[in-house]
Amino acid sequence: SLDAMNSSQLAQPFADGHIAASLAGAVPDAYAPSDAVGCVIAVAINIASSALTVCGFLLQKKANESPSRWTIGDIVISTKWILGFSVGIVLPIPAQVLAYSLAPMSLLTPLSGVSVALNMVFAPRFLGERLQRWPDVPACISILVGTLLTTLAGPRHDKQFSFGDLMSLLGRAAFIWALLALLLTVFGCIHYMRRRRTQLEHSAQARPDNPNIVEVILPALVAALCGCLTNISLKASGELMKGGAEFSNCAVWLLSAGVSALVQLNYVNRGLRLYLQTVFFPVYSALLVLTNTCYGLIFYNEYEDLLSEAGRCILFSIGIGFIVLGIFMFRMRRSDGDGAETMDEQFAELADTGMCSRPGWSCTPTTSPREPVVGVVGTGGEEVGHCTHSPIPLAGWRSIVD
């Protein structure tokens, strides 16, 4: 069911049944157990599940940093990656099934953002990533608030659906248009990332601490959009299993979930490989809950109810605003560590060694020491510096477009 199945990926917004709740055969919130002991146990399990998912991401991030003979797309097949997949995706499923059988969704849904907070603690500690209190902490808080508000305003259906009901929902014009928009967005982002793959990778390496947030959004958005399709399909499968439907009917939805899940997993790993987990994880998580909520509203035909209820509509809009604010606050990160060289320092390295180690840059000595440098060209082909802008002499070296 992949990472989107558990609440650490920021909550299924389906108020009567998280996928895990569906697979567990859970009943609506109104009939869920509410005793204190059960609720305490469920909260503890939910937090532990979030921790498992973050740890799984840490292991997959580590795997992406290590060379491997086997790769599938952006997925590095190694022992460490398989362990991360098992810890972060497989293990939380039974934990979520148990949690949602012990406590109502209304209690557990607000805990869905725990993973973002845990990631802010674990990623710097175990990956050596530098946490910048500004803007990382305010950005994560903004995302958490936005996630909570959009989830609370999300779908609230409590009806059990048959295979015919689900196919009827799937064939509605509103969902078909929404699905078409989703597919166009996904294919557009994938095409852009494939066409500019080298430039995007060089940009990520050149700016590790303050990556271009739009470039971070690209793989996160593809993974989130595919994740919401995975969730809808798995939710439908859970509904059918709970209603005792034939396996062939369930298999249709499970196959759909498998296809979208593979794309989702690939671009999650691409994001982890290129960017700091401190930045990528909260962006991806926020987009996942946002797409889950929006497409849950459309698929279950509840967007009309949302629009007719001013309070929910305002709550949802405010939540989206907080999420967008939190994501773009990461643009304020400073360049530190490996990405903190000033332009003068980069010029100095170029002049002293004759071989700049900055990603996408290279240089060779000219035939004449009197021949001036023609300029320094960045990864996108644009000129980002010139010898006349540097206080140090650069005669004898010429930049070459990589």
Using the 8-state DSSP alphabet, how is residue 6 labeled?
A: S
Q: Which two tokens stand for residue 214?
A: 């739009």
pLDDT at 360 (0 to 100): 44
**pLDDT tens-digit profile of 207-252?**
988 899 999 999 999 999 998 898 888 778 877 877 777 888 888 8
**pLDDT tens-digit profile of 150-200?**
777 765 555 677 888 888 888 899 999 999 999 999 999 999 999 999 999
pLDDT at 47 (0 to 100): 85
For 236-274, b where at least 16 C-beta lie within 10 A, e where not — what string?
A: bbbbbbbeebeeebbebbbebbeebbebbbbbbbbbbbb
**pLDDT tens-digit profile of 274-316?**
999 999 999 998 898 888 888 888 888 878 777 888 888 888 8
Mean pLDDT (whole number) for 42-63? 87
Cα(7)–Cα(254) distance, integer angstroms: 20
For 87-104, b where at least 16 C-beta lie within 10 A, e where not — what string?
A: bbbebbbebbbbbbbbbb
* Listed residue (213, 18, 202) closest to 96, CA to CA: 18
Question: Would you say 193 and 217 are in contact if contact means Cβ atoms under 8 Å apart?
Answer: no
pLDDT at 188 (0 to 100): 96
Q: CB neighbours (10 Å) of residue 67? A: 7
Percent of the chain with pLDDT over 90: 20
Better-scored residue on pLDDT, 11 or 376: 376
Better-scored residue on pLDDT, 194 or 70: 194
pLDDT category at 6 given cuts 50, 70, 90 is very low
pLDDT at 218 (0 to 100): 95
Residue 70's DSSP bridge partners are: 77
